[in-house]
């Protein structure tokens, strides 16, 4: 009888040890994903999931490799001090929409999605990016109300919304920022933009 009880106690101890090991393993995984770079990488992967068409395969290297997420090595992503600061995916004819995951990219200084086919509304979370200086969403299919928080963003210097669907309910402060940004677009950039076929045009050379 004592031997049976001792065996049951041993089984119980083994179960406790296995449970502790499982908890420690989960804790280590959470710690590995808690770094800013990994959380930003996960946010960018969620953004990629919303892209339903990538005709040039621009986002093909946006993936987890051997359990590691390194967004700084991805196409169109630039980092500084291990923080994602620039997202430049212009002229790629990407089709999709934007979601709240941009709120996780709190160190972004520049978002350039010019000349794609993104549609839907511009997420409110983009307006909450306090470090954002440049937002270029020209030549897309965005529609609906514009995030009101942009009027309070003192860092924003360049805002380009040209050639989109109707964007209603723009605050007066947004018009002021837009007027300032139009003077900051140099002639070379305007010339280059004129020579690049629009992704909104059916005549784009795929």
| CATH number of the domain residue 66 falls in | 3.80.10.10
HSE of 189, CA atoms in CB hemisphere, 13 A: 11
User: What is the side-by-side strand order in the sheet with 117-120?
Assistant: 51-53, 95-97, 117-120, 141-142
Residue 8 falls inside a structural domain: yes
CA distances from 4 to 8, 30, 177, 206 (A): 6, 39, 79, 74
Percent of the chain whose predicted confidence (pLDDT) is above 90:
45
Identify whether residues 4 and 80 lie together within a single domain: no
Q: What is the pLDDT of residue 33?
A: 43
Identify whether residues 21 and 49 lie together within a single domain: no
Residue 201 falls inside a structural domain: no
Q: What is the pLDDT of residue 36?
A: 55
Give pLDDT tens digits for 59-97. Answer: 999 998 877 889 999 999 999 998 999 999 999 999 999
Q: What is the pLDDT of residue 188?
A: 41
Q: What is the pLDDT of residue 169?
A: 58
Whole-model pTM?
Answer: 0.71
Q: Residue 16's CB: how many other CB atoms inside 10 A?
A: 10
DSSP strands (E only) in 4-73: 51-53
In this prediction, the residues of the chain whose per-residue pLDDT falls under 50 are: 1, 27, 30-34, 179, 182-194, 202-206
In total, how many domains does the chain have?
2
Identify whether residues 128 and 164 lie together within a single domain: yes
Please, are residues 150 and 173 in contact by the beta-carbon 8 Å criterion?
yes
Identify whether residues 7 and 91 lie together within a single domain: no
Q: What is the pLDDT of residue 163?
A: 86
Identify whether residues 98 and 21 lie together within a single domain: no
Residue 7 belongs to domain spanning:
1-32
């Amino acid at each position: 009888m004592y031997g049976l009880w001792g065996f049951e106690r041993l089984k119980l101890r083994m179960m406790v040890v296995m449970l502790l090991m499982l908890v420690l393993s989960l804790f280590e995984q959470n710690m590995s994903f808690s770094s800013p770079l990994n959380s930003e990488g996960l946010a960018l992967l969620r953004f990629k999931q919303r892209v339903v068409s990538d005709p040039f395969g621009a986002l093909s290297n946006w993936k987890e490799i051997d359990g590691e997420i390194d967004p700084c090595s991805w196409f169109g992503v630039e980092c500084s001090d291990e923080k994602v600061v620039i997202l430049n995916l212009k002229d790629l004819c990407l089709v999709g929409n934007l979601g709240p995951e941009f709120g996780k990219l709190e160190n972004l200084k520049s978002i350039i999605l010019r000349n794609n086919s993104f549609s839907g509304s511009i997420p409110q979370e983009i307006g909450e990016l306090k470090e954002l200086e440049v937002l270029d969403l020209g030549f897309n299919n965005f529609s609906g109300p514009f995030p009101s928080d942009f009027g309070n963003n003192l860092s924003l210097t360049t805002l380009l919304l040209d050639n989109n669907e109707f964007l209603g309910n723009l605050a007066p402060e947004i018009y002021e920022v837009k007027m300032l940004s139009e003077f900051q677009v140099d002639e070379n950039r305007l010339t280059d933009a004129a020579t690049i076929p629009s992704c909104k045009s059916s005549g784009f050379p795929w």
